[in-house]
Structure 1
Amino acid sequence: MSQCSGDGLASRRAESSPLLGNRATDGSCTSYNPAGYDTNEAVTFQPSAPLPKKQVLLLCYARLMEPLAFFSIFPYVAEMVQRNGNLADSDVGFYSGLVEAAFSAAQAVTLLLWGTLADRFGRRSMLMYSLAGMATGTALFGTASELWHMILFRSLTGLFSGANLIIRTMIGELCTPDSQAAFFSWYAVAGNLGIFIGPIIGGALADPANQYPSVFGDSAFLQRHPYALSGFTTAAMTGTAVLITAVAIPETLPEQAGGSLSRACQIVQQDSPQPSMRQILQTTQVQAVLGGYAYVMFIAIAFMAIHPVALYTPVHHGGLGLSTAQITIFIAAVSASETVWLMIAFPVLQRRVGTKRVLVVCSWLWPLFFAGYTVTSALEREGQTIAAVVVAVFNIVVGPGAFMAFTAVQLAVNEASPSPGVLGKLNSSIEILSSIIRSVVPGIATAVFAVGARGNILGGYLAWVVLIVSTMGLPLILKRFPDDHVRC
């Protein structure tokens, strides 16, 4: 371990230590090397140095761009597929799913490469290339006039979608142990904001010649390419993130940052061999954290796929039977509640009880949150509307606390890294996991919901029951997590 205090600089020694380690006996802060690799680093905390809030906020702005690119096409992709492919109504769903999945599949193929490039050539330059490629792919997608063009350009966007893992790594290098909970809450909220406004931009700007004939009705280009304005707008926003990264965000890779990076915890890395990806993944602590991350993502992605379908599905089929306007309000309320939990509750809880215990709390909240939807639907089915509303409101306020698990597992991943020099590789592995899960799970989850609703299996609540049962495995996985250390 390496010791750090206000007095000066101490060297990291090669020794095996748990993921989150123990409190230093001399009262100084401790930097952790969970895998026991001799990275030969020196670390010093400078408590008086200002926290890099501006840089983290700008990185969070860049964080918006990947969910913008991914979700902005959702309002019009089915119509675009049918228009470009001249498909029968029964085939639209399949090809829409194929176009959507192309992004995540391509992303999964290249994420490890992005992590490796960021570790070798620097975080900032690779972030700029990634964002620029995403902008190009998004703009081209809006002009696609053939089905295969859509798949090609969607895949291109996914190939360049390495920004999130780079941003995740940069925030981890900018923050101190005491500030990381707050900073990663900002990161999570930025992602949620991108998920929220992406479909709004896509839907509002799709087919503008017909939506806004007084403004765009005379544009022959927009008549030929009705989805170009949406793609160009999203690409332009991503372009601003490229410029901001170039002029306002510092390099955080320790070898390149040197003394120019102002941060509360400055890491000076000397020449030493870094562990390989195989060595990293063979570490017990890393395996436990990656398993927990994959499990949390599986539960969350399955819920995100089922949620809008369940809100729309009639009550007698196991849903809530809400209108489009009501669904928008409901989802906005859930998002607002989640934001409050992440911004206010999570940093306090994480400091007081630690990352592992926050995840334990989330493992209790998940099944209660999912059960709330079945109870609300069942009460509405029995004509108990007031009781259903009360349960729904309680569920909206309390249930989204389970989403703290997203940020908690990210902190665990960062703390599991054996060295700052391989943080990009480790983050790329979890982004690959995320992409694979995002490619596969939604189709399976919605199929299970459809089977349950069509056959009235378990009253139409089959998917919710499967989700609730699935959450039971999370506490078992968390038992493999090392205990948290007490921060100084």
Structure 2
Amino acid sequence: MRRQSTHAYHTFPTPPPKTPREQSSAELFDHSDSGSNASDDDHEQTPLPVRQLALLAFLSLSEQTALNSIGPYLPQMVESFSDIPDSQTGLYVGILASAFALAQLSTNLLWGYLSDVIGRKPVMIMGTFMLTCCFVAFGFCRTYWQIVLVHVFMGLLNGNAAVVPTVLGEVTDRSNQSRAFTWLPVIYSLGGITGPALGGLLVGTLGKKYPYLAPNLLSAALLLTSVIIVGIWFEETLESLESDHAAWIPAWARNAWSWVKGSRQPKRNSWAARWPRRGSQVAVSTSDDEEDEDEDGATEDQGLLPHADEEGSEAGDDPKTPGDLATWRHILNRNTVLVLLTYLVFQLSNISYNSLYPIFADADPPTGRGLPPSKIGVSLSLAGVATIVFQAFLFQPVKARLGNLGSYRVALLGLAVSMALMPWIGYLDDEPYFGVGTGSTWLYIELGAILIIKNICAVGGLSSVMLLITNCAPNHATLGTLNGIAQTLSAAGRSFGPFVSGALFTLSTRVHPKGEALAWGIFGGIALLGWVGSLAIRNRGLESDDWTGEEDGTDGEADP
């Protein structure tokens, strides 16, 4: 019988539950000192908080639709500015994407920390409302510097990238987190369908003076609707953060947003309910050997930084400051650092692909393929439909077999393969293979196949790495900060990727033959390096309860 994947991580005891439902839920994390080989089937799966997840899904869909609507027409929009050289469109498009991500890089950790202080709901509402304003402004842009400025504000003012995964971690536990984290990328994929379709098909529908106003107004309307819905019905998921955490906030301000926070009682089956405050955390080992390792301080879960003062770990009910709760030594353990670094590579590769594809598809042959914005948008949307089918019906059993870590490794390898294949697709006027169909038909078939591979790897990898990051968190108090760090690194990759990929594609126009292989090949190699790095991650405590694979012997051991 396989070893249960949940035995290799520390759990935190909770007070006795008051209801049978809570009792069965708490047993998921109740291990004896001698360990247990009970089957996962003996554990009751916690029901998903459907309303909370539905509201979160609508918010994410609105945001992803808006953000993805820009891609199909952005190269054409940049080309329309008289001060942009025709041969350097790719470079200037890359600068825009990098400006957005670089702005996120500078504020993601702040948004994650702020959500630990004032709550998740206020941060989501503020960020989404400010993003709404940015999209309205984007539709009226007439010069390149204006769209750069709007992109910077989009990145600075929206912290949902750090907060949404944190909320998912708080409303789920290891018995149901796979289902919740699987559906979030499905929503992202839906946004990858509705966004490009909206952006590609609505361009020019409101006149020639502001040809890009229509898709941006519709995006802003969706975002504003999500602000209203989340503001009214979403319940705060962060456990009570009174006294020390809000002491710096004036009383009148606390009263003004008290209605926004809503209920701050932790869900009885959520991680917030199972992870008590730091003062009551007592690690429970599953074997005598692990107890000895814990006493000697030699386990893998120790951080890379020195221990905090013993005073900070004394038992007590009162929480410390956010910096004390999110102790760096608890966050930066070996596995967490490796997961975060490979996540940086994953996002760098993914965003570089997303930035390169519209430029490559829009550019004139032989370097590009000369496709109009409508065809680019439709190709992305159709590939997104196939991805949703996979994510909704096939990904869960695949991930249950491969595990979070195995799925993540496959995704990184798939990104590398899809990048390596892209520059070798045909042209619109090519001779058809075997005399069947037309050159354009074969081009769209090849494009569709590669885009589907890439999208499946992107959303599957995102599902898996979000679970890995969540399961790396040593306790509930560090979730917001850890996701802030993850999204900061993600933004670093996304700020570097578009600029460099755009510059490389501009350079590739001067290389013959197959100059387009320069940019695609370099970033494919980077994704391959990320896959190699993922092989060093140990799966100790990183898997969800639905995992059916077998744990390596070395994975369950502590670091020497």
CA contact (8 A) 1:68 1:195 kept: yes
Aligned residue runs from structure 1 range 1-16, under 5 A: 1-2=10-11, 6=23
Report how many aligned residue pairs link the two structures.
Answer: 453
Instruction: Find out whether 1:87 has 2:57 as its counterpart.
Output: no
Task: Say if 2:352 is the partner of 1:302.
Answer: yes
1:333 and 1:396 in contact (8 A); partners too: no
- For 1:55, the equivalent position in structure 2 comes to 52
Change (3 A) 1:464 1:201: closer
TM-score (norm 1): 0.78
Map of 2:457 onto structure 1:
402
**Matches of 1:325 and 1:202, distance apart in 2:** 9
Residue 236 of structure 1 deviates from its aligned partner by 2.1
Structural mapping, 1:328-339, within 5 Å: 328-339=377-388
Worse-matched range after superposition: 340-349 or 197-206: 197-206
Aligned in 2, Cα 1:96/1:376: closer, same or farther, shift over 3 Å? closer
| Selected match of 1:430 from 456, 478, 486 | 486
Contact 2:181 2:463 in 1 (8 A): yes
Unaligned 5+ residue runs, structure 2?
1-9, 14-21, 242-262, 278-317, 546-560
Structure 2 residue 481 is matched with structure 1 residue 419:
no
Counterpart in the other structure of 1:249: 234
For the pair 1:440 / 2:508, whether they are aligned, the reply is no
CA contact (8 A) 2:275 2:475 kept: no
Give the match for residue 155 of structure 1: 152
Residue 25 (structure 1) aligned to one of 32, 35, 40: 35
Instruction: Measure the CA separation in 1 of the matches of 2:204 and 2:454.
Output: 37
The C-alpha deviation readout for 1:206-248, integer Å capped at 9, x for no partner, is: 554427xxxxxxxxxxx6x665554433222111111121222
RMSD of Structure 2 on Structure 1 (CA): 4.0
Identity over aligned pairs, percent: 22
Q: Which has the higher helix share?
A: 1
Residue by residue over 1:384-435, the C-alpha shift from the partner in whole angstroms, topping out at 9 and shown as x without a partner, is 3659677666545555432211221111111111222121111112222222
Q: Does the C-alpha gap of structure 1 residues 3 and 260 become closer, same or farther in structure 2, counting only changes over 3 Å?
A: closer
Report if the CA contact (8 A) 1:319-1:377 is conserved: no
Contact residue 299 and residue 467 of structure 1 kept, 8 A: yes
Q: Which residue of 1 aligns with 2:123?
A: 126
- 385-394 vs 398-407, which moves further: 385-394
Aligned to 1:345, which of 391, 394, 410?
Answer: 394
Give the gaps of 5 or more residues in structure 1: 14-20, 31-44, 212-222
CA distance in 2, matches of 1:392, 1:141: 30
Residue number in structure 1 paired with 2:334: 284
AA in 2 matched with 1:267? R
Name the CA distance, whole Å, in 2 between partners of 1:171 and 1:194.
18
1:177 aligns with 2:174: yes
2:207 paired residue among 187, 206, 210:
210
Secondary structure at 1:255 match in 2 = coil
Give 1:215's aligned residue. none
Q: Deviations over 1:25-59 (max 9, x none)?
A: 235799xxxxxxxxxxxxxx994753112321220
Superposed CA deviations along residues 252-301 of structure 1, whole A, max 9, x for unmatched, are: 11336664636465335234444546435632121111011011112212
Contact 1:207 1:226 in 2 (8 A): yes
Code of the residue aligned with 1:297 in structure 2: it is Q
Q: 452, 461, 466: which one pairs with 2:517?
A: 461
Please list, as runs of the form range in 1=range in 2, the aligned pairs for 1:220-299 lying within 5 A after superposition. 227-255=212-240, 259=265, 261=267, 263=269, 266-270=273-277, 271-273=318-320, 274-276=324-326, 278-279=328-329, 282-299=332-349
| TM-score, scaled to structure 2 | 0.69
Cα distance change of structure 1 residues 11 and 121 upon mapping to structure 2, 3 Å threshold: farther
Partner of 2:251: none
AA paired with 2:228? Answer: L
* Cα distance in 2 between the residues matched to 1:207 and 1:379: 25
CA separation of 1:452 and 1:23: change in aligned 2, threshold 3 A: farther
CA distance in 2, matches of 1:400, 1:146: 32
Q: State the shift of 1:441 in Å.
A: 1.0
C-alpha distance 484-319 of structure 1, shift in aligned 2 (>3 A) = farther
1:71–1:198 contact (8 Å) kept in structure 2: yes
The question of whether the paired residues in 1 share the 8 Å contact of 2:325 and 2:478 is answered with: yes
Q: Which residue matches 1:34?
A: none
Cα distance in structure 2, aligned partners of 1:282 and 1:399: 30
